[in-house]
Amino acid sequence: MMRKTDFVFWTFLTMTGLAGATTVLNVTQTYSAASPNSELYRQLDLFGDVFERVRSDYVEKPDDTMLIENAINGMLAALDPHSSYMSPKHYRDMQVQTRGEFGGLGIEVTMENGVVKVVAPIDETPAAKAGILSNDLITHLDNDQISGLTLEQAVEKMRGPVNTPITLTIMRQGRDEPFDIKIVRDFIRINAVRSRVEGDIAYIRLTTFNEKTHANLVKAMDDLKKEIGPKLKGYVLDLRNNPGGLLDQAIAVSDDFLDQGSIVLTKGRNNEETQRAQARPGDTADGKPIVVLINGGSASASEIVAGALKDHKRATVIGTRSFGKGSVQTIIPLGANGAIRLTTARYYTPSNRSIQAKGIDPDIVVEQELPEELKSARQERNRGEAGLRGHLKGETRDEEKAKADEAKAKADEEKKQEESGSSAYVPQEAEKDTQLQYALKFLRGEIPVEETVAKPAQQPSNTAEEQKSPVPN
């Protein structure tokens, strides 16, 4: 007869695809006070007791599937902000999103203090056209409070059939009262690469790293070369407010501009899990100068590209410190039960510098000039990854121990680096874009030498804690 703990453990293992009933029988046979895992099994007994008590005594009959899914979600959420369980539907949605097409409003969001926070609106989507801005807080959806919902539940409510309206109640820094914005849902097609000619400069903006990013980048560069011709002075690669995406695409984009050397190093729990991606010969930019633009909305894959090009001195990085998401999430399918997104490694730049909770510092710090309505809220800028509750530290425990003798000397610097993230505001009008205009002048040789020395950006304190990673909807 299967004990209660056996049942719960079997359910858990079956859902995660790790084992079946045979393994559980083995677990039962080895369950004794002398077993090195006996404490684990006692904790599973506790879980089984609580699970059965809820099923039998809760005021309303609960859904067993919901209980198990929430238990798994709680376990993963306790690890770090980026590990989570995906139901079969959410898993299918994620697969669609990586192809660059999905239904919704067109905003990247996260959860902060019980409300949804806008990381950035996606270009040319209903949200962007309606005037949604980075750092807007969404408190109500169709007059229903968001408080009490998970991020996934809030995102689910924002999605819906194309051409149906939804009203978002917004709290915006610099405005005393909340206000409503009505948005009509549409089919979102993310164009990962946008490009244009800026006189003798090729401007390329990467909005995300999906399955089409590398191919579209190569095509855009070919088109720009033909349009500008021999007067081409260089490239601006704009990664501002790019929340990241697929690792292989970040590697491919970096490889487009590098002839040799490493691109990114990933370190897992064990040394044998360490992997290094190497560049292959061939520079799509033909050695022309490159400026990479980053800000507090540049995260993950964006930071891999910026870090690789900076370390190899292939590009000059201009802007403000990036978000600081330097961890690898592996999608582990669970058959018919969906999948889990599990943090399995940390990213390191070619110079072996951790990105996690530190971000990429630009070579030249250029603060974006803010409009009047946002200047009063300047001190509320996003702290980036370091502001997420439960975020991973930048180094593994072994590395921290090995560097203990240097800790005191580096304490001030590490404290500064922990404050990843910066302003994520980018104006729509190119002439008002302080960072872009600086980059264009830099490539044309119009910036005095003394102005090209990097200076540390001010990082005001921010006590708000973010609880989830950016999620598109």
User: How many C-alpha atoms does 388 have within 13 Å on its Cβ side?
Assistant: 29
Question: Do the beta carbons of residue 52 and residue 38 sit within 8 Å?
Answer: no
CA distance 188 to 473: 9
User: And the tokens for 150?
Assistant: 């998970």
**How many angstroms separate the CA atoms of 297 and 238, rounded?**
12
**β pairing state of 137-141 and 144-145:** antiparallel
Between CA 427 and CA 295 the distance in angstroms is: 13
Dist. CA 417–CA 339, nearest whole Å: 33
Decide: 428 and 121 in contact? Cβ < 8 Å. Answer: no
Q: What is the C-alpha to C-alpha distance for residues 112 and 134, in angstroms, rounded to an integer?
A: 13
How far separated are the first and last CA of the chain, in Å rounded? 46
Cα–Cα distance, 440 to 339 (Å, whole number): 44
Instruction: Give helix 4-16 / helix 38-57 axis angle, nearest 10°.
Output: 100
Residue 66 CA neighbour count, 13 Å, CB half: 5
Phi/psi at 399 (5° precision): -70, -40
- The catalytic residue positions are 300, 311, 325
